[in-house]
C-alpha cells in the first residue's frame, strides 16, 4: 500500500500508474480516487472527466477487452482485484506495445485515447470504476484486438479457456489486422487567406475551411456566423484548431458596413470557436495583432493592457478577450504580416517595377512578420508543448519604419532607395479617410525565444521573399 500519492510512467507512452494512499482503521478504509490538484501536479493530464461508469464482475475470471476507446479514462478498483492489460492501438511507433499490471483499490491507471484496455477479475464480486472525458455514444466504433493475440502475448492469470469472455470479444481481430486509431485532426479556419495558406503548408495533415468553399484548393465551407453550421461540424474528431480567419480592412472597418463585418468576424468568430473549444476540450490557436495596443509603448509585452484605437483594433481586442479565458489556447500577436496575396511588400515591388516613386510614412515603426515564419512558430509551440497563453510572434532583427521597408524592397528590385521619399503619418492621412494606427508596433519576443524558438531576421526573410516572389524589373 502506498504511503504517498505517486504517478509512474509505463512502457506505453502516456499510460500512467497512479499509486493511491488508502488509510485504514476499524471502520474500513478511505482513498481519494480522483484528486485533480494533487494528481495533475504529479504529471497526470488534466483530462476533465465528464462521466463515471461502474463495471461489476460477479465471478472470478470474467474478462473484458481489448478495446481502444476514443477518449481518456482513469480506471480504478473499488472492491476486489483485477489483472489489467493494455495494448497501444494508436497510429505511430508505439503501436503494439504492451503493459500489464495487477491492480486493487490502492492503484489506478490513466489510459490515454487509443490505448486498448482489458481487465480480468481475480476475485468474485469485483467492482471497478472508470472516469472518462467524453460521453459514451451508442454505435461508436473503435479498434479492438483479440485477448489471445500471439504478438501481445498477455500472460492472463486465469487461462482464457476457463474465463468468462463475451462472443464479441472472442471475435476481435489479431493485432496485425487492426486498423490503428488515428490522432485527432487539425483544422485550419480561414484557410484561403495569406496566413491560412501558410498554415496549410506547415500542417499538411490539416483539414481546411473558410467562410466559402474553394474546391480547387480543397477548402470546405464553414461559416462561423451560422450557429447551425457550427453545431453540425464534427468537432469531436479534432484536437487542434488554428483560427486564421480575420477581417483586416483597417480603414473600411470605420464604415457602417465594415464595422458590422469586422465585429462579426474578428470578435464573433473567435467567441464561437472558444465555445466549441471549451465544450470539446480542443486547443485553439488564434492570431491577433499589435493593433490591440495604442502604440505609445516602444516595445510591447504580452501582458500589456489592451488599448485599441480604431474599430478594427477594438474588434481584434474583443476576440483576444474571448480566447484568453480558454484553458488550452495560444493567442499569437503579430505585426505587419506578409505572405501570399496583397500586402505592403508586394505593392512596393509593383511600384518599383512600374517606375513609380512612392511616398511612405517614416513614423510608424515595427517588424515584418512573414506568414511562413508565423506558421513555423505555431508548429513549434503546439508540438513542443509550450505553456498555453499569449505570445508575441514576428520576425526578428532591428525594428524598421515603413519607409525603410519600402526602400529595402526598391533596392532589392534594382531601383534606388532614394526613389522612396518619407512623410509623416499625419501628412499622409491629410485628405484621406483613415483609421488611427499605432506608431510603435515593435513587440518583445523574449517569451517566444524562451520556448526554444529563434525568429529569423526580418531583413533576410524580406530579401528571400522579394527575390523569389512577386513583380521585379
Residue found under cell 476576440 = 319
Pairing label, strands 389-392, 126-132: unpaired
- Strand, coil or helix: 438: coil
Residue found under cell 501570399 = 340
pLDDT at 82: 96
Q: What percent of the chain has pLDDT over 90?
A: 89
Q: What percent of the chain has pLDDT over 70?
A: 99
Region 135-141 average pLDDT: 77
Rounded to 5°, angle at Cα 268 from 263 and 269: 115
Region 96-124 average pLDDT: 96
- Strand, coil or helix: 102: strand
| Mean confidence (pLDDT) of the chain | 94
Same fold, 6-177 and 185-468: no
Distance separating alpha carbons of residues 247 and 199, to the nearest angstrom: 17
Region 444-471 average pLDDT: 92
pLDDT band at 216 (very low <50, low <70, confident <90, very high): confident
Distance separating alpha carbons of residues 70 and 184, to the nearest angstrom: 9
Region 187-192 average pLDDT: 95
Per-residue pLDDT tens over the stretch 269-297: 999 999 999 999 999 999 999 999 999 99
pLDDT at 236: 87
130 is catalytic: yes
Q: Is residue 254 within 8 Å of residue 311, measured between CB atoms?
A: yes
Residue 473 pLDDT more than 70? Answer: no
Region 82-94 average pLDDT: 96
C-alpha cell at 135: 460521453
DSSP at 411? H
Q: Which of 218, 215, 142, 226 is nearest to 187 (CA)?
A: 218
- Per-domain residue ranges of the chain: 6-177, 185-468
Containing H/E element for 389?
strand 389-392
pLDDT at 136: 78
Distance separating alpha carbons of residues 374 and 246, to the nearest angstrom: 15
pLDDT band at 215 (very low <50, low <70, confident <90, very high): low
Per-residue pLDDT tens over the stretch 362-397: 999 999 999 999 999 999 999 999 999 999 999 999
Q: Is residue 222 within 8 Å of residue 209, measured between CB atoms?
A: yes
C-alpha cell at 465: 521573399
Q: Does pTM surpass 0.95? A: no
C-alpha cell at 413: 528590385
Per-residue pLDDT tens over the stretch 307-319: 999 999 999 999 9
Residue 1 pLDDT more than 70? Answer: no
Q: What angle do the packed helices 344-354 and 402-412 form, to 10 degrees?
A: 50
CATH hierarchy code of domain 6-177: 2.60.120.10
pLDDT band at 464 (very low <50, low <70, confident <90, very high): very high
pLDDT at 293: 96
Rounded to 5°, angle at Cα 441 from 246 and 299: 130
Catalytic residue, from 100, 119, 128, 130: name it.
Answer: 130
Residue 242 pLDDT more than 50? Answer: yes
DSSP string over 265-320: IIIIHHHHHHHHHHHHT-EEEEEEEGGGS-S-SSSB-TTPPP---SHHHHHHHHHH
Distance separating alpha carbons of residues 178 and 12, to the nearest angstrom: 18
pLDDT at 472: 45
What is the CATH superfamily name and number for domain 185-468?
NAD(P)-binding Rossmann-like Domain (3.40.50.720)
Residue 238 pLDDT more than 90? Answer: yes
Q: Which of 438, 299, 442, 463 is nearest to 367 (CA)?
A: 442
Residue 345 pLDDT more than 90? Answer: yes
- Strand, coil or helix: 234: coil
Q: What are the residue ranges of helices labelled H in 166-242? A: 167-170, 194-202, 227-232
Distance separating alpha carbons of residues 258 and 250, to the nearest angstrom: 9
Amino acid at each position: 500500500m502506498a504511503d504517498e500519492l505517486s504517478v509512474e510512467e509505463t512502457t506505453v507512452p502516456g499510460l500512467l500508474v497512479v499509486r493511491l494512499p488508502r488509510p485504514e482503521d476499524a471502520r474500513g478504509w478511505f482513498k481519494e480516487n480522483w484528486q485533480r490538484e494533487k494528481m495533475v501536479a504529479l504529471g497526470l493530464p488534466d483530462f476533465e472527466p465528464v462521466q463515471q461508469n461502474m463495471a461489476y464482475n460477479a465471478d472470478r475470471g470474467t474478462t473484458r477487452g481489448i478495446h481502444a476507446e476514443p477518449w481518456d479514462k482513469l480506471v480504478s478498483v473499488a472492491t476486489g482485484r483485477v489483472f489489467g492489460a493494455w495494448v497501444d492501438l494508436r497510429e505511430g511507433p508505439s503501436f503494439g506495445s504492451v503493459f500489464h499490471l495487477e491492480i486493487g483499490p490502492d492503484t489506478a491507471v490513466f489510459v490515454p485515447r487509443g490505448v486498448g484496455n482489458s481487465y480480468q477479475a481475480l476475485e468474485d464480486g469485483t467492482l471497478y470504476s472508470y472516469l472518462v472525458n467524453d460521453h459514451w455514444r451508442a454505435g461508436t466504433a473503435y479498434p479492438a484486438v483479440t485477448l489471445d493475440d500471439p504478438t501481445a502475448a498477455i500472460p492472463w492469470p486465469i487461462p482464457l479457456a476457463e474465463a468468462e469472455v463475451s462472443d464479441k470479444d472472442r471475435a476481435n481481430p489479431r493485432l496485425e489486422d487492426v486498423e490503428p486509431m488515428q490522432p485527432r485532426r487539425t483544422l485550419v479556419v480561414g484557410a484561403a487567406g495569406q496566413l491560412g495558406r501558410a498554415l496549410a503548408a506547415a500542417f499538411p495533415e490539416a483539414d481546411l475551411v473558410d467562410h466559402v468553399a474553394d474546391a480547387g484548393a480543397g477548402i470546405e465551407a464553414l461559416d462561423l456566423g451560422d450557429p447551425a453550421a457550427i453545431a453540425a461540424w464534427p468537432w469531436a474528431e479534432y484536437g487542434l484548431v488554428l483560427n486564421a480567419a480575420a477581417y483586416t480592412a483597417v480603414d473600411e472597418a470605420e464604415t457602417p458596413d465594415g464595422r458590422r463585418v469586422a465585429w462579426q468576424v474578428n470578435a464573433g468568430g473567435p467567441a464561437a470557436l472558444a465555445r466549441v473549444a471549451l465544450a470539446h476540450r480542443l486547443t485553439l490557436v488564434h492570431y491577433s495583432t499589435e493593433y490591440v495596443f495604442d502604440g505609445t509603448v516602444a516595445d510591447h509585452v504580452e501582458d500589456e493592457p489592451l488599448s485599441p484605437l480604431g474599430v478594427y483594433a477594438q474588434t481584434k481586442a474583443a476576440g483576444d478577450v474571448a480566447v484568453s479565458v480558454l484553458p488550452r489556447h495560444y493567442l499569437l500577436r503579430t505585426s505587419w504580416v506578409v505572405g501570399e496575396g496583397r500586402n505592403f511588400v508586394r505593392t512596393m515591388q509593383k511600384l518599383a517595377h512600374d517606375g513609380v516613386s512612392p511616398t511612405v510614412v517614416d513614423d510608424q515603426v515595427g517588424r515584418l512578420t512573414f506568414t511562413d515564419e508565423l506558421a513555423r512558430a505555431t508548429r513549434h509551440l503546439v508540438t513542443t508543448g509550450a505553456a498555453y497563453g499569449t505570445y508575441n510572434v514576428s520576425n526578428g532583427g532591428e525594428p524598421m519604419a515603413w519607409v525603410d521597408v519600402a526602400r529595402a524592397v526598391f533596392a532589392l528590385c534594382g531601383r534606388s532607395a532614394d526613389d522612396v521619399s518619407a512623410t509623416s503619418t499625419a501628412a499622409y492621412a491629410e485628405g484621406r479617410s483613415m483609421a488611427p494606427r499605432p506608431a510603435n508596433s515593435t513587440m518583445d519576443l523574449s517569451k517566444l525565444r524562451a520556448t526554444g524558438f529563434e525568429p529569423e531576421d526580418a531583413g533576410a526573410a524580406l530579401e528571400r521573399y522579394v527575390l523569389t516572389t512577386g513583380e521585379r524589373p
